[in-house]
Amino acid sequence: KAGVTQTPRYLIKTRGQQVTLSCSPISGHRSVSWYQQTPGQGLQFLFEYFSETQRNKGNFPGRFSGRQFSNSRSEMNVSTLELGDSALYLCASGDPGGEQYFGPGTRLTVT
Amino acid sequence: KQEVTQIPAALSVPEGENLVLNCSFTDSAIYNLQWFRQDPGKGLTSLLLIQSSQREQTSGRLNASLDKSSGRSTLYIAASQPGDSATYLCAVRGPGADGLTFGKGTHLIIQP
């Protein structure tokens, strides 16, 4: 069974631009969560989707948004990028028992 | 608000030793606790998931225990190998869940 895939793996953007990251969960998993990882703050929860509905949202500004499609694939969007948005963005796919499986991440650098 | 603490922050031991990594959490009302490892620049690899009703889980040389009432979990690694070198992360999930709440991790180095 294929694991969680994330595209692109690396991105360099300029302040003020917007970016869209994509995540394909493990086949059959309907839950997708997103996390931001930085050296200072560690791993922080962004949002969780289940069957196309946002189930939970972390404490991030409205510039961070996401969605989930009917095939469970998910995208997250960050508008008006700031230098502090530079991070590793990780997507996790959840099985019915609650175990979370993470993808390789997208490394976003904002200059 | 749930807080997760991992001790020690870093650990370096010679190959072959048995070792214990510690995780504590402030709110005992959790659904489950999961241990992960992360290699530099990579995503997280799930090691063990313990449901709130369970006391321990084992996978190969790894054993994780959970004492929900005291807010503690330990990850025991037997006969450590250089390939075990990584950052080990503990995460809990609770009601009203804002996803997983992670500790800062234990950076483990196994010396050959």
> What distance in Å separates the CA atoms of residue B55 and residue A57, rounded to the nearest whole number?
30
Q: Write the DSSP symbol of residue A9.
A: S
Cβ B71 vs Cβ B6: under 8 Å:
no
Average pLDDT for B81-92:
97
Chain A: residue nearest B32 by CA? A98
The position carrying tokens 């993470």 is A102
Report CA B52 to chain centroid distance, whole Å. 15
SS3 A81: coil
SS3 A85: helix
pLDDT higher than threshold 70 for residue B93? yes
Cβ B18 vs Cβ B110: under 8 Å:
no
SS3 A30: coil
Cβ A32 vs Cβ A23: under 8 Å:
yes
pLDDT higher than threshold 90 for residue B1? no
Please write down the HEC assignment for all residues of chain B: CCCEEEECCEEEEECCCCEEEEEEECCCCCCEEEEEEECCCCCEEEEEEEECCCCEEEECCEEEEEECCCCEEEEEECCCCHHHCEEEEEEEECCCCCCEEECCCEEEEEEC
Residue in B89, B93, B101 closest to A98 by CB: B93
pLDDT tens, position by position, A12-60:
999 999 999 999 999 999 999 999 999 999 999 999 999 999 998 999 9
Query: What is residue A2's predicted lDDT score, i.e. its pLDDT?
Result: 81
Q: Report angle CA B29, B103, A106 to the nearest 5 degrees.
A: 115
Do B102 and A42 count as a contact with CB atoms less than 8 A apart?
yes
Chain A interface test: which of B34, B36, B44, B48 (most A C-beta within 10 Å): B44
Residue in A98, A99, A104 closest to B43 by CB: A104
pLDDT tens, position by position, B20-67:
999 999 999 999 999 999 999 889 999 999 999 999 999 999 999 999
